[in-house]
Chains A and B, each alone.
Chain A
Amino acid sequence: MDIFTAYFTGAVGYSAILLFGSTGEILTEKAGHLNLGIPGIMCFGALGGCFGVSLIGNVPVVSMLMAILFAFLFAGALGLLYSLFTVSLRCNQNITGLIITTFGVGCTNFFINKISSVSFAKVAKQFTQLFPSYKDLGVFGELFLSYGFMVYFAIIIAVFVAVFMKRTRAGLQLRAVGENPATADAAGINVGLYKYLATFIGSGIAGLGGVYYVFTYLNGAWEYKIDALGWLSIALVIFSVWKPNLAILGSFMFGLLYNAKAYIPGISAPMKEAFGIAPYLVTIIVLIITSIAGSKNVQPPASLGLNYFREDR
């Protein structure tokens, strides 16, 4: 494998974590809820995945599905907790989100070591390869077919969410809820239900990023680093101007930027660390550009961060 291929595949492998997180967060934000709990939720997804696997051990395909199911449920449950606070009890979204992050990260670090991880490395093998014969196809195979199935899954979900929001009635209604809940309410849309569902499913999708991180990216190991990736996912939402299809490209670009340090010869260790902030810098630049451009098509949902109460005057 030459350097370019290694760089490319490394970036793709990294980008899928972010893509899960961003797609989930976009879905939530489109309902008008800024969920800063994503880092904690992704951690919780990882915890759920590990828990699911530990229940059953290494059974072909089944343990993989268990991991995904439990990751979705664990992360979704934390999302529901967030919704309970912000939708029903109308707590401040930023504060609630930060609490969820703290809770999710702490909980995961506490419980993850109590889960028996003997079968993890074996189960990880189920995740890591989808097309075992990719090497026969040369560079094309290396670049596009060498990944675990969850990489493709991340892209499929992102495309699906993009189409859902653009083409379906439910997508239109979801966007309306995030733009102007009073309008959606007056149009007879169940605003609370949309907010709950968007947060639940969005969190579930983000949680898959946690499973992917443990079982594909780290081959069944656990490393306390995923919450940083959660923050990066939220930055990616801004970078991709709330469009999941752009998030696919954005996550890949973030992957390239993040991994660049390993492929630039002759830079010092502190410089390598400094390269880690490149994605954030790019996000800030994008934010500035979209703000200056002021086009309505690249703005966040109009009521993002604002809780809705029908009888508020």
Chain B
Amino acid sequence: MEKQIALQLKNICKYFPGKVIANKNVNLTLYKGEILSLLGENGSGKTTLMNMISGIYFPDEGQIFINGEEAVIRSPKDAYKYKIGMIHQHFKLVDVFTAAENIVLGVKGERYKLKEVNTRVREIAERYGFDIDPKKRIHEMSVSEKQTVEIIKVLYRGADILILDEPTAVLTPQEIEKLFAVLRKMREAGKSIIIITHKLNEVMEISDRVSILRKGEYIGTVETAKTNPKELTEMMVGKKTDLKIERVKTDFDKPLLEIRNLCVNSDEGSLAIDDASFYIRGGEILGIAGIAGCGQKELCEAIAGLRPIKSGLIMHKGENIIGLPPKKIIEKGVSMSFIPEDRLGMGLAPSFSITDNMMLKTYAEGKGPFVDRKSARERANALIKKLEIITPSSETPVRRLSGGNVQKVLVGREIEAGPNVIITAYPVRGLDINTSYVIYDILNEQKKKGTGILFIGEDLDVMLALCDKIMVICHGRIMGIVHAEKTTKEDLGLMMTGALNLTEEKKDKNYGIAKDSNLTEEEWKIEGEKQAEKEKTNG
């Protein structure tokens, strides 16, 4: 059977200011009724390429053909005309609008009546198997609900070509299954789908063919059935990468950080962390697994002193650190590198150069009122070299760097300060495999030095390989703390969704409390009373 071509790209090139080549001579073919995976390292130009198809950028050279005819896509409006719809990695939704208002936004022609829109949205949801309430406002929705709105938005406009930019990055395993089921239904209905993802197992599972980009250039396209993850990785990175992450063996020290009965509120005032007790030893990596929004963020912020706690104790080497300002906590050697969804939101100042960002943590060290830029620049340059950060110079604003490079700067700076506890959240989020390994190596190096590491991750495979122990949180409650060597991915998944609760099962075994604590039980009691006293006086 002859397959019809839905979309064809010929010799597409795009350059950004500052001699950055985003795409160079990219050729791509998408057939009708197929799912094509677009694979590539960070900064390989996948998103830029897709943005050109959906009209956000305009190619500097090359042609786009849709259904055999040359198409000029100058704006997202043009893209809709050609029935192309893109679901962006960062959702393009208006927070204060309802689902239906967001879906109908920009649709022309028909009469504007929200009731009719609601009905049509429900129809589409039913046809492809979505779950959605058209009247719910976006800011009340979970990430996967928002994604559903995005997809329906595109379908509502009658798109035949759908582009999904890393749709699974923010979803739980169960939600991913659901999404894939929906995608398969769309494929059956004759839609053509391009999906960008970093996860090879997903590529293998969902796609018919895989196209690979490397450093902005088109490498090739292979049929999924005729390839394997190893081959794909080779095409993607250009050289063999060892897929095994090393778990360094160390002699565990005494507990560095001990946390008991910690309760923390979320921004909305609900309980984000509910009665958590755990500890980290020196020379240990404790992984924290959980669905996005399960309370990891609040936990990190509470430990780093950025968020007031409700009750409980946080002991660093036997000293209560609750209520201390963040600077004091940093001085004690507790370091936090938090990589939020937008990468630039926390920890780095986007308009500052790498040098200036290095100084954000060491500004107080120089003598007199002047900051010491020279040593900061030396450290920045050393970091650039060590982590292979791609930047024109150490004086380039970090917002001009690609996401992966921004992350390297952030993690690098935190580790440079020589902390004894590192809290790191999603340090490899969105990073390519090579860079991820650089980060894992850095963490292992720190572990060897006796540093305690709290690793909040999203890829369970990585956590199973890297961490010594894994703590699973579901809706603010600790579901269990397990040895990575002895547990299975399935168990972790069950705990993440709350189906398995080891804390509850082993309730009377003092779960999450170190036997060789820095304090005696007597002392814990006294500290607890002191803290309770403090909470009372603070109201």
| Residues of A in contact with B (beta carbons under 8 Å apart) | 168-169, 172-173, 175-176, 179-180, 182-190, 296-297, 299, 302, 310-311, 313
Please tell me the size bucket of the interface on B: 20 to 34
B94: chain A residues within 8 A (beta carbon): 175-176, 179-180, 183-184, 302
Interface set, chain B 83-100, CB cutoff 8 A to A = 86, 88, 92-97
Q: Tell me, yes or no, whether B76 is within 8 Å of chain A by CB.
A: yes
Query: Within the assembled complex, what's the spacing in Å between the Cα atoms of A180 and B90?
Result: 12
Question: Are B97 and A173 in contact (CB-based, < 8 A)?
Answer: no
Question: Are B399 and A183 in contact (CB-based, < 8 A)?
Answer: no
For A187, give the chain B residue with the smallest CB separation.
B106
Q: Tell me, yes or no, whether B514 is within 8 Å of chain A by CB.
A: no
Query: Within the assembled complex, what's the spacing in Å between the Cα atoms of A53 and B340?
Result: 60
Q: Tell me, yes or no, whether B306 is within 8 Å of chain A by CB.
A: no
Question: Are B76 and A297 in contact (CB-based, < 8 A)?
Answer: no
Question: Are B93 and A188 in contact (CB-based, < 8 A)?
Answer: no
A172: chain B residues within 8 A (beta carbon): 97, 101, 104-105, 112
> Contacts A176-B105, A180-B95, A183-B94 hold; do A313 and B56 have CB atoms under 8 A apart?
no
Question: Are B75 and A183 in contact (CB-based, < 8 A)?
Answer: no
Query: Within the assembled complex, what's the spacing in Å between the Cα atoms of A302 and B139?
Result: 12
Q: Tell me, yes or no, whether B137 is within 8 Å of chain A by CB.
A: yes
Question: Are B105 and A302 in contact (CB-based, < 8 A)?
Answer: no
Q: Tell me, yes or no, whether B130 is within 8 Å of chain A by CB.
A: no
Question: Are B95 and A302 in contact (CB-based, < 8 A)?
Answer: yes
B56: chain A residues within 8 A (beta carbon): 185-186, 310-311
CB distance from A194 to the nearest CB of B (A): 11
Question: Are B96 and A297 in contact (CB-based, < 8 A)?
Answer: yes
> Contacts A172-B112, A182-B92, A310-B56 hold; do A187 and B105 have CB atoms under 8 A apart?
yes
B455: chain A residues within 8 A (beta carbon): none
Question: Are A186 and B88 in contact (CB-based, < 8 A)?
Answer: yes
CB distance from B345 to the nearest CB of A (A): 15
A190: chain B residues within 8 A (beta carbon): 77
Question: Are A296 and B77 in contact (CB-based, < 8 A)?
Answer: no
Q: Tell me, yes or no, whether B57 is within 8 Å of chain A by CB.
A: yes
Query: Within the assembled complex, what's the spacing in Å between the Cα atoms of A168 and B114?
Result: 10
B76: chain A residues within 8 A (beta carbon): 185-188
CB distance from B216 to the nearest CB of A (A): 15
Contacts between chains A and B (CB distance < 8 A), count: 72
Query: Within the assembled complex, what's the spacing in Å between the Cα atoms of A182 and B94?
Result: 10
A169: chain B residues within 8 A (beta carbon): 104, 108, 112
Interface set, chain B 392-447, CB cutoff 8 A to A = 399-400
7 pairs of A and B residues whose beta carbons are closest in the complex: A187-B106, A188-B77, A169-B112, A183-B92, A188-B106, A179-B94, A186-B92
CB distance from B88 to the nearest CB of A (A): 7
> Contacts A172-B104, A311-B57 hold; do A188 and B75 have CB atoms under 8 A apart?
yes
Question: Are A186 and B86 in contact (CB-based, < 8 A)?
Answer: yes
CB distance from B49 to the nearest CB of A (A): 15
B88: chain A residues within 8 A (beta carbon): 186
CB distance from A177 to the nearest CB of B (A): 9
Query: Within the assembled complex, what's the spacing in Å between the Cα atoms of A188 and B76?
Result: 5
CB distance from A56 to the nearest CB of B (A): 41
CB distance from B67 to the nearest CB of A (A): 20
A182: chain B residues within 8 A (beta carbon): 92
A297: chain B residues within 8 A (beta carbon): 96
Q: Which of A172, A175, A311 has its CB near the most chain B CB atoms (within 10 A)?
A: A172
- Select B93's contact among A180, A296, A310, A313, beta carbons within 8 Å: A180
> Contacts A186-B56, A296-B96, A296-B139 hold; do A313 and B101 have CB atoms under 8 A apart?
no
Question: Are B106 and A184 in contact (CB-based, < 8 A)?
Answer: yes
Query: Within the assembled complex, what's the spacing in Å between the Cα atoms of A173 and B105?
Result: 6
Query: Within the assembled complex, what's the spacing in Å between the Cα atoms of A186 and B399?
Result: 22
Question: Are B77 and A183 in contact (CB-based, < 8 A)?
Answer: no
B79: chain A residues within 8 A (beta carbon): 188
Query: Within the assembled complex, what's the spacing in Å between the Cα atoms of A156 and B137?
Result: 30
Query: Within the assembled complex, what's the spacing in Å between the Cα atoms of A185 and B106?
Result: 9
Q: Tell me, yes or no, whether B218 is within 8 Å of chain A by CB.
A: no
Query: Within the assembled complex, what's the spacing in Å between the Cα atoms of A187 and B97?
Result: 14
Question: Are B92 and A180 in contact (CB-based, < 8 A)?
Answer: yes
Question: Are B137 and A188 in contact (CB-based, < 8 A)?
Answer: no
Question: Are A179 and B92 in contact (CB-based, < 8 A)?
Answer: no
Pairs A–B under 8 Å by Cβ, sample size 29? A172-B97, A172-B101, A172-B105, A175-B94, A176-B94, A176-B97, A176-B105, A179-B96, A180-B92, A183-B92, A183-B102, A183-B105, A184-B94, A184-B105, A185-B76, A186-B54, A186-B86, A186-B88, A187-B76, A187-B153, A188-B75, A188-B106, A189-B106, A296-B95, A296-B139, A302-B95, A310-B56, A311-B56, A313-B400
For B85, give the chain A residue with the smallest CB separation.
A186
A189: chain B residues within 8 A (beta carbon): 105-106
Q: Tell me, yes or no, whether B80 is within 8 Å of chain A by CB.
A: yes
A310: chain B residues within 8 A (beta carbon): 56
A296: chain B residues within 8 A (beta carbon): 95-96, 137, 139
Question: Are B80 and A188 in contact (CB-based, < 8 A)?
Answer: yes
CB distance from A51 to the nearest CB of B (A): 39
B80: chain A residues within 8 A (beta carbon): 188
Query: Within the assembled complex, what's the spacing in Å between the Cα atoms of A173 and B108?
Result: 11
Query: Within the assembled complex, what's the spacing in Å between the Cα atoms of A169 and B56?
Result: 23
Query: Within the assembled complex, what's the spacing in Å between the Cα atoms of A299 and B137?
Result: 15
CB distance from B508 to the nearest CB of A (A): 41
CB distance from A195 to the nearest CB of B (A): 16
CB distance from B94 to the nearest CB of A (A): 4
Query: Within the assembled complex, what's the spacing in Å between the Cα atoms of A183 and B16?
Result: 22
